[in-house]
Chains A and B, each alone.
Chain A
Amino acid sequence: MIEFSSVTKYYEDDAVLKDVTFTIDKGELAFITGPSGAGKTTLLKLIYCDERPDKGQIIVAGWDIGKLKQKTIPFLRRNVGIVFQDFRLLSNRTVFDNVALALRIHYMNTSTIREDVTAVLKEVKLGHKANTYPQHLSGGEQQRVVIARAMVSKPTVLLADEPTGNLDIDNSQIIMGLFREINARGTTVLIATHNHGLFHGTGRRVFFIKDHSIEKEVIG
């Protein structure tokens, strides 16, 4: 589902990723970890084509990221749900509207949007907060809204960049539980985190990035 073949990425003259090669299989849940500045976020950005590789090849759900045309990028992103550490929720829209945005871009009709958004909000246990504005939610709740927004369009790949970075242990467990549920339905999930507690004992593959390269691959 995600294939990196000898990928190198420079920011100006500095390499942020050097000769990275790995594969995430369809329906897998995997982790990427490493210290801050190791290149985890850049790696995710390469997957959803916010950045392009300078060398090597990246294939995501059949799309060759290096060769993707500008006008095709939206169609890749519709297959890739993204969960950000800083949430990126729109403060002038309610929880419902924030989640609905992911369906409105598909020009879905109102009744389908209402049904799907209501269902997904129930799944993340936020059905009662549909008309609340994000700034009135806790960090854990906001992250659940972001996950709901990423899930609602049923992507084939879900990326999460430090999804529990701003959360306490309890909320982190809830978020991880949601990721497992999403994965259980067949969605490929890749989580970038520096929190080793998230993958310990999960039995999932973990890629360690050090000095901008994959240092090792272990089972968590």
Chain B
Amino acid sequence: MKAFIYSFQSVFRSLWHEKWINLLTILSVSIGLSLVTSFILLTINMDSVIQRWAKNFGLVVYLKENVSAAEEASLKNLFSRDSDIIEVKYISKELALKELRATLGANELILEGLNGNPLPSSYELTLKSNLLDPERVKRKASLIQHMTGVEEVQYGEKWLSSLYTISKTMKVGSIIVGGAIFIAITFITYSTIKIFFYRRKEEIETLKLLGATRIFIRLPFLLEGFIIGLLGGIVSSLVIFGIFSFTSLRVIEFLPSVRLFMASFPYQVYIIVPLAGAAVSVIGSLIAVGKIRY
């Protein structure tokens, strides 16, 4: 505890003494964190849109013309027990024709010449939205295709594939951009703390000769890195909140459709971003201080 009190005194002295370089570092850290957070929020919003679209995604299982009632019931039973399927809806031949008539509206006359009902009965299956991996859906469709009584399975294969690619690209992009910026932040803090460390080299050498422990020498630098990262994170979360509020209030006014895309602002940002900034800065400081040898 006393180590922390002493170190904090030393840190506040250094923060004030080296205020310009500290301010510059805090701003650099906050810019970096703002970019990462913006990218992550964009990804979250895109993901939210995708999930929203995906909610209506399903497989249509067309049944054979001569399917028996027992086969229909058996299929229904299989679908209901499948944990990947959240909703099973049966569309009889009659209902299918009725829906087609309703869809055609005034053009239903084109159905006048038909002998009987040519439409097959079917099952509409809604899948869990978090399971919408094209390969998985393809396997599932293939499995159903081979079931007794099934004529054909249809789903938006290309649409699903595109959606999945967009979502995956955004996530991978977030990781790459986030990783690169985190490395940059680490380097920024590393450079600042390294400068402070060199400036105090004479003092450190004296402290070592007087019998100061490694933690006594290191702690002020690590705390300084922590505070720089924390302040950078706080500034960043305020900036992000400002941008988000501006987008919500102003842009929606002119482009109401944006509202559909926007996920609500995750308030965990206020905690996660400053802590992430602090953690990354402490790593930079640790590397800068390195091993203390006597």
Contacts and interface: CB of A to CB of B under 8 A. Distances in A.
B and A form one assembly:
yes
Interface of A: 48-50, 70-71, 73-80, 82, 88, 90, 101-102, 104-105, 107, 109, 149, 153
Which 5 A-B pairs give the minimum distances between C-beta atoms? A77-B211, A107-B2, A78-B211, A73-B294, A105-B212
B87 interface: no
Contacts of B211: 74-80, 102, 105, 153
A107 B6 contact: yes
A153 B210 CA distance: 9
A141 to B, nearest CB: 18
What interface size band does chain B fall in? 10 to 19
Interface string B131-169: 000000000000000000000000000000000000000
If over half of B's interface residues share one DSSP class (helix, strand or loop), that class is named, otherwise mixed; here it is helix
A79 B209 CA distance: 11
B213 interface: yes
Contacts of A48: 209
21 contacts: A48-B209, A49-B294, A50-B294, A70-B293, A70-B294, A71-B213, A74-B208, A74-B212, A74-B294, A77-B210, A77-B211, A80-B211, A88-B205, A90-B202, A90-B203, A101-B207, A102-B211, A105-B210, A105-B212, A107-B3, A109-B2
A7 B213 CA distance: 27
B216 interface: yes
B250 interface: no
Nearest to A82: B209
B74 interface: no
A90 B13 CA distance: 16
B203 A102 contact: no
A88 B206 contact: yes
Interface string B210-224: 111110100000000
B207 A105 contact: yes
Contacts of B209: 48, 50, 77, 82, 88
A88 B6 CA distance: 22
Max chain A Cβ within 10 angstroms of own Cβ: one of B6, B209, B210, B213: B210
Given A90-B202, A107-B2, A107-B3, A71 B214 contact: yes
B105 to A, nearest CB: 85
B81 to A, nearest CB: 63
Interface string B188-215: 0000000000000011011111111110
Nearest to A105: B212
A59 B3 CA distance: 30
Nearest to A79: B211
